Amino acid sequence: MWTLTLFLSSLLAASFFYPLEFQFGQILLIDHLGLIISTAVALFSSIVLSYSARYLAGHTKLRRFLINCALFAISAILMAVANHILLFIASWLSMGLFMAELIGGYTQYHEGKASRKNARNYFLGSTALVGAGLLWLAILTGAWSISEIISFVKSDSQLAAWGPSLLLIGGAVVQSALFPFQRWLMSSMTAPTPASALMHAGFVNAGAVLLTRTAPVLYVSDLLWVLVLVGGIGALIGKFSKFVQANIKQKLACSTTAQMGFMLLQCGLGFFSAAVTHLILHGFYKAYLFLSSGKNIEQKSPYNGDNKRSWKQWYLPVTLLSGLAGGWLFALTTGKGLEINSGLFLTFVIVLTVIHGAQDFLGRSSLPLLSRLIALPIVVIPFLLAYAVVFNSISTLMQQVPMAEMAVPIAWDQLTIGVLYLATFLAIELKWYKKSRRLYVYLLNVSQPKSNTILQ
């Protein structure tokens, strides 16, 4: 809690310097986006370093681990404030190389070495895509800084930027471990728990920073629909894959792919500031889950016979009303969903999320039924209000970031993902997915790590 409070305090301090934009030649660009990401990275890395010093106490490679964590954090901060495309590419590459070392460099087993090599190959591929996309833009515009490229793109709406945009999207998808590139994340379980926390809290989120920096290019190329489809489908596969996992860290990995899919989906809807908000909140949440994952280890029967609920007819209308109320509160506090555009689709996803969360709360709580019904709004309302505060704060600070928030019309891509989301919601809530062995086998296979990275 204190870390989130410190982060919010940093945002409040930053608001006193609004608008903020310092350029150091073509090398660095320090604006509110860079400040937000740098603050988050500094907080996450300081927590992980402090935890690691105790968690790995006595390990022969502790000093090396801490140095690599610090170098990774420096690389991530440089990426957030880089303006020259060569510096951005170099920091993106160094992030990947340091993370690959954190994943597999601290075990004597051959699985660790295989995991490090596998991750490094993916990260080199991601760097190649991002580098090619940025260099292509530099050739098209004649500019070598991101700010100058964006200025050129905004003044030339006819720029043929679809090629660079596809490359940048590809790099973001690989970094975010979305289907079909999720295997590197599933194969990274050899990493020490602090490294996993740093990876899931910060590294996989870098795709949102890249896409937010280059948002005008994506608008001009008219390829936001690709992000909607890729992000939406990736989120669905990650969500379903989580259900077939028994290992705690593998469950968290599948959850991360689902969250990263939703993050890129928000970029596709034109709400890059919402994606950055998601990046921050997911980082806090996932870092906490990894660093506290040990307490969730328990021996438990897969079928405990407590699935029958005599009050089933009660919680269905209650959860539906909770979802509608949550969607209304989200629209009222953030302004999304009040018009017929992509904000309405985002509110629809929030409604489904609140319904699912409400049903999970009612089904798992040990409180009596009446107490659960009373406690439900007490839990949901503060959560949505807290999200609205963070979202509105970040959106306000990012107003100077080019096209950080620009709703797009509802189109076929959003309708397609909306239908898939609704079908997925019904399949999960009504347990339809448990009736298909073929689906179970597919999800198990698609979410498996490479065989040579599994600890024997």
Per-residue pLDDT at 185 exceeds 80: yes
Residue 305's pLDDT band, with cuts at 50, 70 and 90, is very low
Over the stretch 428-444, which tens digit does the pLDDT of each residue have?
Answer: 777 777 777 888 888 88
Using left for φ > 0, alpha for ψ between -120 and 50, and beta otherwise, residue 156 falls in: beta
Mean pLDDT of 243-270: 86
Q: What pLDDT, on a 0 to 100 scale, did the predictor assign at position 297?
A: 55
Residue 14's pLDDT band, with cuts at 50, 70 and 90, is low
Tokens of 24: 């150091």
Q: What pLDDT, on a 0 to 100 scale, did the predictor assign at position 135?
A: 95
Per-residue pLDDT at 257 exceeds 60: yes
% of residues, the chain, pLDDT over 70: 87
Q: What pLDDT, on a 0 to 100 scale, did the predictor assign at position 133?
A: 94
Mean pLDDT, the chain, whole residue set: 82
Per-residue pLDDT at 15 exceeds 70: no
Select the more confidently predicted residue: 220 or 360.
220
Residue 302's pLDDT band, with cuts at 50, 70 and 90, is very low
Per-residue pLDDT at 364 exceeds 90: no
Select the more confidently predicted residue: 136 or 190.
136
Tokens of 320: 């539906």
Mean pLDDT of 31-36: 86
pTM higher than the cut 0.75: yes
Q: What pLDDT, on a 0 to 100 scale, did the predictor assign at position 310?
A: 43
Let me know: does 141 contact 153? Beta carbons within 8 Å. yes
Tokens of 36: 């937000």
Residues 6+ apart with CB under 8 A from 35: 14, 20, 397
Choose among 199, 168, 205, 167: nearest CA to 186.
199
Q: What pLDDT, on a 0 to 100 scale, did the predictor assign at position 304?
A: 43
Q: Which of 97-106, 148-157, 429-438 has the lowest mean pLDDT?
A: 429-438
Let me know: does 148 contact 172? Beta carbons within 8 Å. no
% of residues, the chain, pLDDT over 90: 24
Over the stretch 312-354, which tens digit does the pLDDT of each residue have?
Answer: 556 677 788 888 888 898 898 888 888 888 989 999 988 888 8
* Angle of CA points 146, 44, 84, to nearest 5°: 15
Collapsed DSSP state (helix, strand, coil) of residue 371: helix
Provide the pairing of β-strand 28-31 with 21-24: antiparallel
Over the stretch 201-235, which tens digit does the pLDDT of each residue have?
Answer: 777 888 999 999 999 999 888 899 999 999 999 99
Which range in 27-36, 122-131, 245-254, 284-293 is most confidently predicted, on average pLDDT?
A: 122-131
Residue 456's pLDDT band, with cuts at 50, 70 and 90, is low
Q: What pLDDT, on a 0 to 100 scale, did the predictor assign at position 84?
A: 93
Choose among 122, 104, 218, 125: nearest CA to 455.
104
CA distances to 2, 27, 55, 59, 291 from 294, rounded to whole Å, are 21, 43, 12, 19, 8
Let me know: does 54 contact 95? Beta carbons within 8 Å. no
